[in-house]
């Protein structure tokens, strides 16, 4: 099993410690794995009083200690191979790299977005049988993340939320010709919904309106999900009770066929687009959000009660939240 590795910007994984420990092994003495330092910003009022207005988690420096046996005849070649993959210079063109560590207490890997900053330059063979050295990494993102994504989906069901007794319908307002996607009457040959005592004709009103509240439990720090709305949809609204944040679309936005809505909520990457699955074309629909909606839509630690409304749902219509949980320490 791999205990510690670093995945560089090219996607190459450098094994720094594994169960067999055939080359490099980690020593005790990790630094930077606990909660990061916090920095506060305060303002000074005219009367001399002050107030703290912002508290931020600061970037962190990570240090891990390693050893390697000096008796290995190809040690220099192996160390050179590690150096070539670890050391990266130049302007950033994407992400730098990721440090991946195994957490046995959680039986899972934790990943830190970071860049190698030093250590190989200080490696010295000062022992007859082994050498010791440290590797340092710089992480501007203070969180340790899962190495997998979570997808939480709220989906309409054909058998739930669509049937109502016919005596609730109002024939004066049932306009099939002009509103075929609205409310209508039909015979329902379904014994599980046939209440012959109260409704001998088995007539029900069918409605595509779907509204539900689902609890999403988050154990990590605040995260900003990618939200995907798909399937037959109109009059779409999503509310998070825990944060009070809302996403609601104008009623002229209608989904169906091969289109879906993609909402990115992560700061610096935010967007709201209508995507054509066949061509991949993205159309900006940010102006279709209501005035009280916000792309600052996040999930907070605890129980996030998500209200989802769709007035033209069919089976399979729904909304998905895709995210990676992150913690301040590992």
pLDDT at 73: 75
* Alpha carbon distance 234, 317 (integer Å): 10
pLDDT at 172: 52
pLDDT at 316: 85
Looking at the chain, the domain(s) classified CATH 2.60.120 span 150-160+209-327
CA distances from 304 to 196, 219, 226, 243, 252 (A): 41, 11, 15, 8, 28
Strand, coil or helix: what is 323? strand
Backbone angles phi, psi at 6, to 5 degrees: -130, 130
pLDDT at 42: 95
The helix or strand, by DSSP H or E, that contains position 164, with its residue range, turns out to be: strand 163-165
Q: Which residues of 25-63 are buried (b: 16+ CB within 10 A; e: fewer)?
A: bbeeeeebbeebeeeeeeeeeeeeeeeeeeeeeeebebb
Q: Which residues of 142-174 are buried (b: 16+ CB within 10 A; e: fewer)?
A: bbbbbeeeeebebbbeeeeebeeeeeebeeeee
CB distance 166 to 203 below 8 Å: yes
State which residues of the chain have pLDDT below 50. 160-171, 174-188, 191, 196, 202-206
Residues 6 or more apart whose Cβ sits within 8 Å of residue 55: 38, 39, 40, 41
Q: Count of CB atoms within 10 A of residue 247's CB? A: 23
Among residues 305, 303, 109, which one has the least CA distance to residue 219? 303
**Residues written for the chain:** 330
For 36-41, the CB contacts below 8 A with 24+ separation are: 36/60, 36/142, 36/328
The helix or strand, by DSSP H or E, that contains position 138, with its residue range, turns out to be: strand 130-139
pLDDT at 165: 39
Cα angle, residue 6 at apex, residues 36 and 94 outer, rounded to 5°:
80
* CATH code of the domain occupying 2-146: 2.40.30.200
Looking at the chain, the domain(s) classified CATH 2.40.30.200 span 2-146
Beta bridge partners of 43: 51
Q: Does the domain made of 150-160+209-327 have the CATH classification 3.50.50?
A: no
Tokens 């009070």 correspond to what residue? 244
pLDDT at 106: 84
The helix or strand, by DSSP H or E, that contains position 56, with its residue range, turns out to be: strand 50-57
pLDDT at 288: 95
Structure tokens at 308: 């989802």
pLDDT at 167: 39
Strand, coil or helix: what is 234? strand
């Amino acid at each position: 099993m791999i205990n510690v590795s670093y995945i560089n910007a090219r996607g190459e994984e450098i094994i720094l410690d594994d169960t067999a420990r055939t080359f490099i092994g980690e020593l005790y003495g990790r630094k930077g794995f606990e909660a990061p330092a916090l920095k506060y910003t305060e303002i000074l009022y005219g009367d001399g009083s002050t107030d703290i207005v912002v508290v931020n988690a600061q970037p962190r420096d990570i240090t891990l200690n390693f050893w390697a046996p000096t008796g290995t005849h190809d040690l220099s070649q192996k160390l050179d191979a590690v150096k070539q993959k670890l050391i990266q210079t130049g302007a950033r063109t994407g992400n730098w790299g990721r440090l991946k560590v195994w957490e046995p207490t959680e039986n899972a890997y934790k990943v830190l977005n970071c860049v190698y900053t030093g250590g190989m330059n200080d490696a010295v063979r000062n022992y007859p049988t082994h050498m010791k050295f440290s590797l340092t990494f710089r992480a501007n993102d203070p969180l340790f993340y899962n190495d997998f994504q979570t997808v939480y989906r709220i989906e309409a069901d054909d058998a739930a939320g669509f049937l109502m007794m016919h005596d609730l319908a109002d024939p004066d307002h049932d306009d099939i010709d002009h509103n075929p996607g609205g409310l209508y009457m039909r015979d329902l040959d379904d014994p599980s919904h046939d209440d012959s005592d109260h409704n001998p004709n088995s007539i029900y009103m069918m409605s595509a309106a779907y509204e539900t509240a689902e609890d999403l439990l988050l154990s990590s720090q605040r995260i900003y999900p990618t939200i995907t709305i798909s399937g037959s949809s109109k009059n779409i609204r999503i509310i998070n009770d825990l944060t009070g944040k809302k996403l609601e679309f104008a009623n002229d936005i209608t989904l169906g066929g091969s289109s879906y809505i993609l909402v990115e909520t992560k700061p610096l990457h935010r967007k709201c687009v209508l995507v054509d699955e066949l061509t991949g074309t993205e159309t900006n629909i940010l102006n279709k959000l209501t005035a009280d909606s916000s792309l600052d839509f996040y999930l907070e630690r605890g129980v996030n009660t998500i209200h989802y409304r769709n007035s033209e749902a069919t089976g399979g219509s729904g909304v998905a939240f895709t995210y990676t949980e992150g913690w301040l320490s590992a």
